[in-house]
Structure 1
Amino acid sequence: MQWYAVYTKPKREDAVAGSLENAGIEVFNPRLKQKKYMQGAYRNKISPLFPCYVFVKFEPETTSHMIKYTRGVKRVVGGDFPWPVSDEVIDLIRNQEEDGIIAIKPPQLKYGDSVAINDGPLAGLKGIFEKELSGQERVVLLLSAVEYQARVVVDKAFLVMA
């Protein structure tokens, strides 16, 4: 048996995975943990690593019909001749998991690094890394504007190297 990618309806990954697992079919539905700014606070959000996709291990000749007609499934990637996903790719993703969830680690920064803010209320701004605050979740950046510079404190998870 080989792994195949199954395209699901939006936000139906868990339902599809549950239905197929209940039918005795092996399913891999990798999850991602990210810190997001929601409703005025920073919260950990767990969401699909690949939205609208789950990986399913099956024999296309015998199980394709059942997979295609599972509630929430749009199609098997590749149609009538599904495209296999190698075991190495599945293993690579699984090796990144901890307790079934992949966590994105913020970049390791040093004084003077140029960074961009990719989430939160200051998304889109660029600055220079100055220092980490206690707990290593928040950092101080020096933002440059046209005529002045300002220091701001942002969540480290919102930064990418610029």
Structure 2
Amino acid sequence: MEKKEDVFQWYALYTKSRAEKKVYEQLKGFGIEVYLPLKKEQRQWSDRKKWVEVPVINSYIFVKITSAQYREVFNATGVVAYVSHKGKAVAIPAREIDAMRRTIENKLSFSVEADTLRKGEKVTITSGPLKNIEGEVEEIQGTKKLYLRISHIGYVLVLNLDEVERVK
């Protein structure tokens, strides 16, 4: 009997505070596909100001692994646990990782017609670098901000969207 090929899936890992970059480098060294969303912030020291890259979501990184690599991530110093539900690590849809990656990398501004969407509605982005990304409307604030939920980690992307349409 042939063994079914292991499927690669994205998971969120919770790390020790301020250990995200070290964990990222270690996992990358193990040959694991890893994503650490970063943003630039200006930090003030007593003698100077400096731009530094900091995690978009503190204490979280994302790994794309097979079930065979499940335990290997704990070889990285600073990994605390998988984001899980009822004791089982929860896979994050690749489209949500892609949406986060494209949002952060493109640094683009969008707009949305707030009165056409409702909380909980499934939407597809129809233009710009996030074209074809699907998400769920978490919240709408004013006429420009759309909050797209990233499953299972308790965070949402705040986007200004050009055009979205309901998923049919």
TM range (shorter): 0.5 to 0.7
Preserved CA contact (<8 Å) 1:4 1:56: yes
Indicate how the Cα distance of structure 1 residues 71 and 78 shifts in structure 2: closer, same or farther if over 3 A, else same.
Answer: same
Secondary structure, counterpart of 1:96 in structure 2 = helix
The answer to whether residue 15 in structure 2 is matched with residue 8 in structure 1 is yes
Q: Which consecutive unaligned segments of at least 5 residues does structure 2 have?
A: 1-7, 110-168
Report the counterpart of residue 76 of structure 2 in structure 1: 70
Secondary structure, counterpart of 1:14 in structure 2 = helix
**Structure 2 Cα separation of the partners of residues 56 and 77 of structure 1:** 11
Q: Which consecutive unaligned segments of at least 5 residues does structure 1 have?
A: 106-162
Task: Compute the TM-score of the two structures, normalised by the length of structure 2.
Answer: 0.52
**Structure 1 Cα separation of the partners of residues 50 and 19 of structure 2:** 22
| CA deviation after TM superposition for structure 1 residue 58, in Å | 0.7
Report the counterpart of residue 133 of structure 1 in structure 2: none
One-letter amino acid of the counterpart of residue 96, structure 2: V
**Structure 2 Cα separation of the partners of residues 43 and 19 of structure 1:** 26
Preserved CA contact (<8 Å) 1:16 1:73: yes
Q: How many pairs were matched up?
A: 101
- What does 1:1-162 correspond to in 2, within 5 Å? 1-39=8-46, 43-59=50-66, 61-78=67-84, 80-98=87-105
Indicate how the Cα distance of structure 1 residues 11 and 26 shifts in structure 2: closer, same or farther if over 3 A, else same.
Answer: same
| CA deviation after TM superposition for structure 1 residue 24, in Å | 0.8
Preserved CA contact (<8 Å) 1:31 1:46: yes
One-letter amino acid of the counterpart of residue 82, structure 2: V
Task: Compute the TM-score of the two structures, normalised by the length of structure 1.
Answer: 0.54
Preserved CA contact (<8 Å) 1:32 1:104: no
One-letter amino acid of the counterpart of residue 75, structure 1: A
Secondary structure, counterpart of 2:98 in structure 1 = helix
Report runs of 4+ in structure 1 exceeding 2 Å deviation: 34-45, 102-105
**Structure 1 Cα separation of the partners of residues 58 and 76 of structure 2:** 18
| CA deviation after TM superposition for structure 1 residue 32, in Å | 0.9
Indicate how the Cα distance of structure 1 residues 103 and 40 shifts in structure 2: closer, same or farther if over 3 A, else same.
Answer: farther
| CA deviation after TM superposition for structure 1 residue 75, in Å | 0.7
